[in-house]
Amino acid sequence: MDLPKYNGNIHPDEWINDIQKYLKLRNNNYTSNDHLEIAKTLVDTNISLPTGIDSFEKLRNTLKEDISFTIFKNTNERKLQSLNYIPESRGGDTSKFISNFLKLCYNAEINDIEEQKNYLFKSLPMSCYFSREFYKKMENMNSINELIKKFEDIVVEESRLIKNESIVALKHVTTGKYLSSVENVRYTSGTGFQLVFAESPVPDPNSLWKIKFDKELATYTNTSIKLQHVKSSNKFLGIFYGYDGIKYDYYKSPSTNHTEVSCNFINNGSWNDSWKFNHSKLENNQRYLKSNDIINLSIKKTIDYRGNFNQNGQVEFLRSHDIQFAVDNDTFQEVICHNERLGGNDEWCIELIKQHIWSIDALQQ
């Protein structure tokens, strides 16, 4: 290993520390004065050293007074200004980013915690989540270690967020089975549409859904969602009503005579596939929907028995239970909607399978 030379492209403090450590390991017979003289010979000839430098402290101060150090600091500060954090979902590396951020702060001698916060904030993606969470969590930070720890907390939580068009699975909490559908396997009663049921104890292709809403992130306060079955051709989870010769009503489930839940796509008022969700444990939750949240899913019956639109129609909740129904020679665990008292059978754990990656252009809209 060669002795590290100083040419203005490293911080003087770091270079002097490296030189002292290296020389102590290389030869214990050298005096501290010998170490100083060797260090002085390693300074680039473009950097002028005055006479009278008789300590490492004086050498350090001389190097910091040279124009090369001013350029070095300014260069690192400009790199800080242009630094961009790329989430790991988009191919970034948080560990390398933080290492680079800390190194640039050190090289630019940015030691004030408020300045460090500002540079870190400017590096973040243009996302309402990052902006909101950063200011909320960073408000009372007093050290760089606290700053980095809270930043890591934000990154971990961001990786669990359910974003628009992400792929999710919904596990029925009580029975441990996943909300599923199979292309062109249909009810033999009711609508005759593609059936919905709870089946596999692990996520499989039939239990994958693409979640859709009108913004990047779904909040608990005011977001309507649609659930598109991944393995079917443009079919969504929903309910359907029809006319039985006497009145209009929503079709009934095969076993318990509750509202039938099916998988289809019909572009008219008879079909409703717009769902609301709320956290089953936390009332008035103001947070974003994220993986492993336990939720209730609800849908509104917007058509009355006369066939008229009713914006104040009955709200019903998605439920499954151990009750089975048969189609041909196969049995399925029933999934229905109801307006009864909520309980454990109405709880669903939403699991993120694949987070959708939003482009910068989409985030700016």
| pLDDT tens digits, one per residue of 3-51 | 789 999 999 999 999 998 888 887 667 788 888 999 999 999 999 999 9
Radius of gyration of the CA atoms of the chain, in A: 31
pLDDT band for position 360 (cuts 50, 70, 90): very low
Q: Which residues pair with 350 in a beta bridge?
A: 170, 293
C-alpha 229/C-alpha 206 separation (Å) is: 8
Q: How many CB atoms lie within 10 A of CB 289?
A: 25
C-alpha 344/C-alpha 27 separation (Å) is: 72
Per-residue model confidence as pLDDT tens digits over 100-159: 999 999 999 999 999 999 999 999 887 767 777 887 888 788 899 999 999 999 899 989
* Between 93 and 131, the higher pLDDT residue: 93
C-alpha 60/C-alpha 50 separation (Å) is: 12
C-alpha 299/C-alpha 166 separation (Å) is: 21
Read off φ and ψ for residue 275, nearest 5 degrees.
-110, 150
Per-residue model confidence as pLDDT tens digits over 218-254: 989 889 999 999 999 899 999 999 887 788 899 999 9
Residues of the chain with CATH 2.80.10.50: 167-364
Instruction: Over range 81-105, report the average pLDDT.
Output: 93
Assess contact for 230 and 208: CB atoms under 8 A.
yes
Q: What is the mean pLDDT of the chain?
A: 90
Q: Is the pTM of this model over 0.75?
A: yes
Q: How many CB atoms lie within 10 A of CB 184?
A: 10
**Residue by residue, what is the 3-state secondary structure of the chain?**
CCCCCECCCCCHHHHHHHHHHHHHHHCCCCCHHHHHHHHHHCECCCCCCCCCCCCHHHHHHHHHHCHHHHHHHHHHHHHHHCCCCCCHHHCCCHHHHHHHHHHHHHHHCCCCHHHHHHHHHHCCCCCHHHHHHHHHHHCCCCCHHHHHHHHHHHHHHHCCECECCCEEEEEECCCCCEEEEEEEEECCCCCCCEEEEECCCCCCHHHCEEEECCCCECECCCCCEEEEECCCCCCEEEEEEEECCCCEEECECCCCCCEECEEECCCCCCEECCEEEEECCCCCCCCECECCEEEEEEEECCECCCCCECCCCCEEEEEEEEEEEEECCEEEEEEEEECCCCCHHHCEEEEEEECCCCCHHHHHC
Q: Which residues pair with 332 in a beta bridge?
A: 325
Burial class (CB in 10 A: 0-12, 13-18, 19+), 98: middle
Whether pLDDT at 358 is above 70: no
Among 259, 255, 175, 167, smallest CA distance to 207 is for 167
* Six-digit token string for 203: 């996520």
* The pLDDT value given to residue 357: 65
Measured in whole angstroms, how far is the alpha carbon of residue 72 from the centre of its chain? 36
C-alpha 323/C-alpha 90 separation (Å) is: 43
Among 26, 156, 18, 3, smallest CA distance to 87 is for 156
Query: 3.90.45.10, 2.80.10.50, 3.40.710.10, 3.40.50.920: which CATH number matches 167-364?
Result: 2.80.10.50
Share of the chain above pLDDT 90, in %: 70
pLDDT band for position 65 (cuts 50, 70, 90): very high
Instruction: Over range 63-89, report the average pLDDT.
Output: 95
